[in-house]
Amino acid sequence: MKSLVKNISYAFLIFLLLAALFSLFTTHEKKEEISFAELVEQVKEGQIEKIVVKEDEVNILLKDGTKEFTYKQAGVSLEEMLKMYGVTEEQLLKANITSERKERSDIFWFFLASVLPIVLIGFFFWWILKQGQQGAAQALSFGKIRARRYGVGGRIQEKVTFKDVADLEEAKTELKEVVEFLRNPKKFTEIGARIPRGVLLLGPPGVGKTLLARAVASEAGVPFFSVSGSEFVEMFVGVGSSRVRDLFTIAKKNSPCIVFIDELDAIGRHRGAGIGGGHDEREQTLNQILVEMDGMERNSGVIVLAATNRPDILDPALLRPGRFDRRVVLDMPDTKGREEILKIHTRKKPLAKDVNLREIAERTPGFSGADLANLANEAAILAARRNKKEISQKEFLESIEKVLLGPERKSHILSKEEKKIAAYHEAGHALVSTFSPETEPIRKISIISRGLAAGYTLRLPEREKYLKTKTQFLSELATLLGGYVAEKLKFKEITTGAADDLRKASELARKLVMEYGMSRLGPMTFGKKESLVFLGKEITEQRNFSEEVAERIDEEVERFVKEAYKRAEKILKTKRALLEKIANRLIEKETIEREEFEKLIEEEKNKFGKRSKSKKTEEAKI
Ligand code: ADP
Ligand code: MG
Ligand code: ZN
């Protein structure tokens, strides 16, 4: 399309140029118009040097050099007309009349009218042919892979080194070793060690798999070919496997080198599990990869690096030793890792003195490297919007919520009534959480809507938790129901705002029974998860238990939820005054931070400070 516009504008330019040339040739010299009678007079008096007739235009050159012109009647020759006006033959001869049929401009117009269209049409056909050829070339190269080459002899991208990758120490060591293999194969082969054929990077999205591979590319000192798994998948049958062949041919030619297949899960699904028959295109592509990897000689100097988020859906054949014989697992960063990642992503940003990356890392459990990079960027944007020269801690903390919950929706203004409901709802969550055992302190309560939520309550995780206790789960369940209960207590009515909480609570309760063995059914798991290809989600849960057990599971789930409801209700009924107070403060200020929240609770405690001790111990047991 672009080239069409370009060609048209070229043609237009040429046309303009020709037009300009044309007007240059036909610039009229200065001439004076005279009447025919005057001309007759001049002829009779013999003042004429010569007369040139062009159609009806009569151009006259006088002996004194002046130029004139006039018009004659069409269809009659000038001589005849002059004779009618009484000019003699002799005088006519002296006037030296010639006529000119075709002028230069006529030739030009002829050219324009006949040659130019031909040229243009020819040009047009040539252009179409050229396009066609390109198309044909494209069709021919369809089976070719567009592997981007980096590293030695390749293009230079924004350079990423191992220094730009924080945390992930084990993964880095592993990959450095692989690089070492390629650089210095002799050292390893002489001692009888085999060079690995494939290295698989496993880990959830955003932990830095692609980043790490890019670091390898720039540090390996060998060519690095990068393709994405989705590039093998085309509409046309056979393209995928042909591209695999092509990729490995290129790789072998350039060995020693590294081939990086990103998002391997796009091709490497379970074979035979595809909907629409076993002979599915993906299967052929995958087969081809296996064939190529097996066919590669050991020590051929080609190492295949692949990355995936979903090892569970990869074909076991791919994971067999001898193919991807090394697996590097990348974990979500812990607090220290998060701090290091933040350090990397704030390296080039001006930070205020009060910035404490450790604190931010502590407040962002569950954030991946990508989330943290995003967080650092959001903080910078926020600071810039506030016309600051430096990013301060405030901006970082505010960005956490933005990354976590989506942007504040200022336009989504709650009505007065909705605000009131949201306030009691969130206060309910916060209070139940505070007065339940083994819970983290409340960090912030807000009724400013963010993302899809009308309000939110954030808790402060004090440290990373890998194991959770049943007590914690039960507190969690009660907290989830806190919003629902608070609404019911206050308004004798329930809104849709609690729907998400209820869904989460039911899911959690079901997990306690079916996966964690925390119910009366005892230490057993129920159901087998199957992930369905294509959808990539767990949509089927195979039943491996009887109808009777299913009923008991349902009973247990129900019991968990009901008990959680009772606990939440008990807490909120005994803390009714506090609930009112916090809700009212929320309506007034929209957000309550940790300090304020704790102060409110402390005040209330002091009011009833003379309560008996036994009551307090009972509370702790809830
Ligand atoms: P994926 O594992 O999904 O391939 P990426 O490698 O694309 O994730 O990571 C996305 C971004 O997150 C990177 O470009 C980088 O900015 C950031 N990131 C992730 N992990 C780290 C890390 N360990 N150190 C520094 N930045 C990281
Ligand atoms: Mg990636
Ligand atoms: Zn809620």
Question: What average pLDDT is seen over the chain?
Answer: 80
Tokens (6 digits) for 14? 């040429």
Q: Does some domain include residue 615?
A: no
Spatial distance between the Cα atoms of 192 and 183, rounded to a whole number of angstroms: 17
How many structural domains are present in the chain? 4
Tokens (6 digits) for 598? 């704790």
| β-strand partners of 467 | none
- Whose CA is closest to 523, among 536, 538, 535, 512? 512
Same domain, 452 and 600: yes
Q: What is the pLDDT of residue 562?
A: 95
* CA 209–ligand 2 middle distance (angstroms): 6
Q: What is the pLDDT of residues 347-356, one digit of tens each?
A: 989 999 999 9
Same domain, 494 and 426: yes
Q: Which of 128-132, 241-245, 341-345, 529-533 has the highest mean pLDDT?
A: 341-345
Does the pLDDT at position 538 exceed 60? no
CATH code (residue 504): 1.20.58.760
Q: Does some domain include residue 466?
A: yes
Q: Kindly report the protein residue whose alpha carbon is nearest to atom 18 of ligand 1.
A: 369
Same domain, 250 and 277: yes
Q: Which of 133-142, 362-371, 381-390, 519-528 has the highest mean pLDDT?
A: 381-390
Higher-pLDDT residue of 246 and 146 is: 246
Q: What is the mean pLDDT of residues 208-235?
A: 81
Task: Please report the atom of ligand 1 found closest to the CA of residue 203.
Answer: 2
Spatial distance between the Cα atoms of 427 and 447, rounded to a whole number of angstroms: 10
Q: Which of 1-10, 36-45, 233-242, 578-587 has the highest mean pLDDT?
A: 578-587
Q: What is the pLDDT of residue 151?
A: 62
Same domain, 436 and 585: yes
Q: What is the mean pLDDT of residues 128-138?
A: 67
Task: Please report the atom of ligand 1 found closest to the CA of residue 337.
Answer: 23
Percentage of the chain modeled with pLDDT above 70:
81
* Pocket of ligand 1 contains residue 342 by CB under 6 Å: no
Percentage of the chain modeled with pLDDT above 90:
23
Q: Does some domain include residue 136?
A: no
Q: Does some domain include residue 294?
A: yes
Dmax over CA atoms of the chain, in Å, equals 148
Q: What is the mean pLDDT of residues 359-376?
A: 89
Checking DSSP bridges between strand 223-228 and strand 148-151, what pairing results, if any? antiparallel
Does the pLDDT at position 413 exceed 80? no
Higher-pLDDT residue of 140 and 515 is: 515
Higher-pLDDT residue of 86 and 359 is: 359
Residue 426 a catalytic site member: yes
Q: What is the mean pLDDT of residues 528-541?
A: 47
Does the pLDDT at position 144 exceed 90? no
Spatial distance between the Cα atoms of 166 and 172, rounded to a whole number of angstroms: 10
Which residue, 353, 385, 405, sits at the end of a domain? 405
Q: pLDDT band at 280, cuts 50/70/90?
A: low
Higher-pLDDT residue of 140 and 85 is: 85
CATH code (residue 239): 3.40.50.300
100 residue type, one letter: E
Does the pLDDT at position 435 exceed 80? yes
Does the pLDDT at position 385 exceed 50? yes
Q: What is the pLDDT of residue 574?
A: 94
Lowest mean pLDDT: which of 122-136, 196-210, 259-273, 608-622? Answer: 608-622
* Pocket of ligand 1 contains residue 165 by CB under 6 Å: yes
Q: Kindly report the protein residue whose alpha carbon is nearest to atom 17 of ligand 1.
A: 370
Q: What is the mean pLDDT of residues 178-199?
A: 82
232 residue type, one letter: F
Q: pLDDT band at 474, cuts 50/70/90?
A: very high
Cα distances (angstroms) measured from residue 457 to each of 252, 422, 469, 509? 56, 11, 22, 21
Of the candidates 231, 283, 395, 426, the residue annotated as catalytic is 426
Spatial distance between the Cα atoms of 101 and 188, rounded to a whole number of angstroms: 94
Q: What is the pLDDT of residue 606?
A: 81
Q: Does some domain include residue 120?
A: no
CATH code (residue 365): 1.10.8.60
* Pocket of ligand 1 contains residue 340 by CB under 6 Å: no
* Pocket of ligand 1 contains residue 341 by CB under 6 Å: yes
Does the pLDDT at position 471 exceed 80? yes
Q: Kindly report the protein residue whose alpha carbon is nearest to atom 5 of ligand 1.
A: 208
Does the pLDDT at position 12 exceed 50? yes
Q: Kindly report the protein residue whose alpha carbon is nearest to atom 12 of ligand 1.
A: 370
Same domain, 300 and 220: yes
Which residue, 329, 358, 380, sits at the end of a domain? 329
Does the pLDDT at position 505 exceed 90? yes
Q: What is the pLDDT of residue 566?
A: 96
Tokens (6 digits) for 507? 């899911």
315 residue type, one letter: D
Q: pLDDT band at 570, cuts 50/70/90?
A: very high
* Pocket of ligand 1 contains residue 206 by CB under 6 Å: yes
Task: Please report the atom of ligand 1 found closest to the CA of residue 167.
Answer: 23
Q: What is the pLDDT of residue 378?
A: 93
Q: Kindly report the protein residue whose alpha carbon is nearest to atom 1 of ligand 1.
A: 206
Determine the structural domain holding residue 62 and report its residue range. 2-106
Same domain, 465 and 575: yes
Q: Does some domain include residue 616?
A: no
Q: What is the pLDDT of residue 455?
A: 79
* Pocket of ligand 1 contains residue 337 by CB under 6 Å: no
Q: Kindly report the protein residue whose alpha carbon is nearest to atom 14 of ligand 1.
A: 211
> 465 exposed, middle or buried (CB, 10 Å; 0-12, 13-18, 19+)?
exposed
Does the pLDDT at position 412 exceed 70? no
Q: pLDDT band at 531, cuts 50/70/90?
A: very low
* Pocket of ligand 1 contains residue 209 by CB under 6 Å: yes
Q: What is the pLDDT of residues 13-68, one digit of tens each?
A: 777 777 767 666 655 566 788 888 888 888 888 888 888 888 788 888 888 888 88
Q: What is the pLDDT of residues 595-610, one digit of tens each?
A: 899 999 998 888 765 4
Does the pLDDT at position 335 exceed 70? yes
Same domain, 173 and 235: yes
CATH code (residue 25): 3.30.720.210
Q: What is the pLDDT of residue 421?
A: 92
Same domain, 342 and 238: no
Q: According to the 3-state scheme, what is the secondary structure of 405-454?
A: HCCECCCCCCCHHHHHHHHHHHHHHHHHHHCCCCCCCEEEEECCCECCEC
**Residues 621 and 570 sit within 8 Å (Cβ to Cβ):** no
Q: According to the 3-state scheme, what is the secondary structure of 538-603?
A: EEEEECCCCHHHHHHHHHHHHHHHHHHHHHHHHHHHHCHHHHHHHHHHHHHHCEEEHHHHHHHHHH
Among 211, 212, 335, 364, which is best to mutate for testing ligand 1, by the most ligand atoms less than 8 A from CB? 211
Q: Does some domain include residue 124?
A: no
Which residue, 329, 347, 373, sits at the end of a domain? 329
> 182 exposed, middle or buried (CB, 10 Å; 0-12, 13-18, 19+)?
buried
Task: Please report the atom of ligand 1 found closest to the CA of residue 208.
Answer: 6
Does the pLDDT at position 241 exceed 70? yes
The length of the chain in residues reads 622
Q: Does some domain include residue 192?
A: yes
Same domain, 291 and 229: yes
Q: What is the pLDDT of residue 369?
A: 92
Spatial distance between the Cα atoms of 284 and 570, rounded to a whole number of angstroms: 61
Same domain, 237 and 299: yes
Contacts of 424 (CB under 8 A, 6+ apart): 486, 487, 489, 490, 491, 579, 583
Does the pLDDT at position 140 exceed 60? no
Same domain, 62 and 197: no
* CA 618–ligand 3 middle distance (angstroms): 26
Same domain, 523 and 595: yes
